[in-house]
């Protein structure tokens, strides 16, 4: 039997920040000259985002003395300090998303046979996979795999691996958890690429349960038909993610949407082959311009990207977790029928694709 996603759970940090407030915060930093303020205003206003969530309470007006000074100035803690906060904040948020998936799928913790974790915004060991076993009360012989530092596209390779495990072991139930705390790497900057990154990235976690067997719980879900990976002919230097002394440094150039717009048709045509294009798409919203380029490049109807635009609007770009937020909306929408294509873009530029369909 083909593997299927039987449920998706999500979790967001308690602190939410309206996009206009974040724009005002960054534009009000002491080092922001008139040109930088114009860049910030343009990037934040064009993002397609209304609200983002963060583990940094200071971004919502509660100075913490680590990231935000009492006078509202953005501080520059070391990478070690940032990673310490990741280590404390990541496990509970990941566990919340996983519990949500278990509840929605009517699956007991002792039914989980494999755990796959995904993250690119922090490191520690024993890591998220270990803590999920402990926090959820999973069996100690659960097989664990971590996919690290693959960027925004990593959820689809994780689902691909889960599908391969499930189809090879019909009694397997795989828990996939994507956790990203992008706001931990916020910085004051006048670099246009860093301004764009600051305007879109956010925090969140999502979890999916994947199986190919008949287990107790919901018999429906999203059947995972096939996957594909492609590298664009250019873009290696336009989207990258490196570790600096004061946080991880995201390069996200203005060329990214244009590269996607130029090359997406060829990548999708090779992926779909002779299959007709689906009417519903789950596209990772790197930003509103990325969705616009995909819509134009593939000749999609506006309704095809409704869920992608809604998640961008309500949550921002949560890196790898974002595509699972989109798929959850589609999974829970009773009007969704037929094939669904998923696309996510990562450093390189890498294009990850998945084709699935709804099972009742």
pLDDT per residue over 4-28, tens digit each? Answer: 999 999 999 999 999 999 999 999 9
Least confident of 51-55, 68-72, 224-228, 327-331: 68-72
Q: What is the dihedral of CA 82, 85, 86, 87, to 10 degrees?
A: 120
Q: From start to end of the chain, where are the E strands?
A: 4-11, 15-18, 51-54, 114-119, 143-148, 173-181, 203-211, 221-231, 239-244, 247-252, 280-283, 339-346, 350-359
In this prediction, residue 195 has a pLDDT band, given cuts at 50, 70 and 90, of: confident
Least confident of 98-102, 135-139, 216-220: 216-220
| Cα–Cα dist 205/307, whole Å | 17
Length of the chain: 360
In this prediction, residue 106 has a pLDDT band, given cuts at 50, 70 and 90, of: very high
In this prediction, residue 217 has a pLDDT band, given cuts at 50, 70 and 90, of: low
Tokens of 102: 């278990």
Least confident of 84-93, 187-196, 350-359: 187-196
Q: Is 274 helix (H, G, I), strand (E, B) or coil?
A: coil
Tokens of 149: 């530092």
Examine the pLDDT at 148 and tell me if it is beyond 80. Answer: yes
Query: Would residue 178 show up in a list of annotated catalytic residues for this protein?
Result: no
Examine the pLDDT at 179 and tell me if it is beyond 80. Answer: yes
In this prediction, residue 280 has a pLDDT band, given cuts at 50, 70 and 90, of: very high
Examine the pLDDT at 233 and tell me if it is beyond 90. Answer: no
Q: Active site residue: 152, 178, 182, 315, which one?
A: 152
Query: Looking at residues 164-184, what average pLDDT do you find?
Result: 96
Query: Looking at residues 117-126, what average pLDDT do you find?
Result: 97
Examine the pLDDT at 97 and tell me if it is beyond 80. Answer: yes
Q: Looking at per-residue confidence, does 223 or 193 come out higher?
A: 223
Examine the pLDDT at 216 and tell me if it is beyond 70. Answer: no
Closest alpha carbon to 207 in 345, 105, 347, 279: 105
Report the chain's mean pLDDT, rounded to a whole number. Answer: 92
Q: What is the DSSP string of 120-141?
A: SS---SS-HHHHHHHHHT--TT
Give how far the C-alpha of residue 75 lies from the chain's centroid of Cα atoms, to the nearest Å: 26
Return the pLDDT at 258: 81
Examine the pLDDT at 279 and tell me if it is beyond 80. Answer: yes
Least confident of 201-210, 238-247, 272-281: 238-247
Are 54 and 315 in contact by the 8 Å Cβ rule? The answer is no
Reported as a single tens digit per residue, the pLDDT across 155-169 is 999 999 999 999 999
Return the pLDDT at 129: 98
Closest alpha carbon to 291 in 324, 317, 327: 317
Reported as a single tens digit per residue, the pLDDT across 257-274 is 788 888 888 888 898 988
Pairing of strands 339-346, 280-283: parallel
| Cα–Cα dist 35/31, whole Å | 11
Are 59 and 25 in contact by the 8 Å Cβ rule? The answer is yes
Strand order through the sheet with 143-148: 143-148, 114-119, 173-181, 203-211, 4-11, 221-231, 350-359, 339-346, 280-283
Are 227 and 163 in contact by the 8 Å Cβ rule? The answer is yes
Reported as a single tens digit per residue, the pLDDT across 56-95 is 988 877 788 899 998 889 999 999 999 999 999 999 999 9
Domains of the chain: 221-359 (3.40.47.10)
Examine the pLDDT at 140 and tell me if it is beyond 90. Answer: yes
Q: Looking at per-residue confidence, does 152 or 258 come out higher?
A: 152
Q: How far apart are the first and last CA of the chain?
A: 15
In this prediction, residue 324 has a pLDDT band, given cuts at 50, 70 and 90, of: very high
């Amino acid at each position: 039997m083909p593997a299927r996603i039987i449920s998706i759970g999500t979790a967001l940090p308690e602190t939410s920040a309206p996009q206009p407030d974040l724009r005002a915060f960054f534009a009000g930093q002491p080092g922001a000259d008139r040109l930088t303020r114009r860049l910030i205003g343009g990037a934040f206003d064009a993002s397609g985002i209304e609200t983002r969530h963060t583990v940094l309470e200071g971004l919502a007006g509660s100075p913490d003395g680590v990231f935000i000074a009492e006078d509202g100035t953005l501080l520059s803690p070391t990478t070690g300090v940032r990673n310490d906060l990741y280590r404390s904040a990541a496990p509970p948020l990941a566990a919340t998303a996983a519990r949500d998936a278990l509840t929605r799928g009517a699956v007991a913790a002792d039914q989980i046979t494999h755990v796959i974790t995904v993250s690119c915004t922090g490191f520690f060991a024993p890591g998220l996979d270990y803590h999920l076993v402990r926090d959820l009360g999973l069996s100690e012989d659960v097989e664990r795999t971590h996919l690290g530092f693959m960027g925004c596209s990593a959820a689809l390779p994780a689902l691909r691996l889960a599908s391969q495990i499930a189809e090879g072991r019909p009694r397997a139930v795989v828990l996939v958890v994507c956790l990203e705390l992008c706001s931990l790497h916020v910085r004051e900057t006048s670099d246009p690429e860093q301004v764009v990154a600051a305007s879109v990235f956010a925090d969140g976690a999502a979890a999916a349960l994947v199986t190919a067997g008949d287990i107790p719980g919901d018999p429906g879900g999203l059947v995972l038909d096939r996957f594909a990976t492609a590298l664009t002919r250019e873009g290696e230097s336009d989207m990258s993610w490196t570790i600096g002394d004061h946080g991880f440094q995201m390069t996200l150039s203005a060329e990214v949407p244009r590269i996607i717009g130029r090359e997406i048709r060829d990548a999708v045509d090779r992926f779909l082959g002779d299959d007709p294009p689906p009417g519903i798409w789950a596209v990772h919203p790197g930003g509103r311009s990325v969705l616009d380029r995909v819509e134009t490049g593939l000749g999609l109807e506006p309704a095809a990207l409704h869920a992608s635009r809604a998640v961008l609007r309500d949550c921002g770009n949560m890196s790898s977790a974002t595509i699972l937020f989109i798929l959850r909306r589609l999974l829970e929408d009773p009007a969704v029928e037929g094939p669904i294509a998923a696309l996510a873009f990562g450093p390189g530029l890498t294009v990850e694709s998945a084709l699935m369909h709804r099972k009742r």
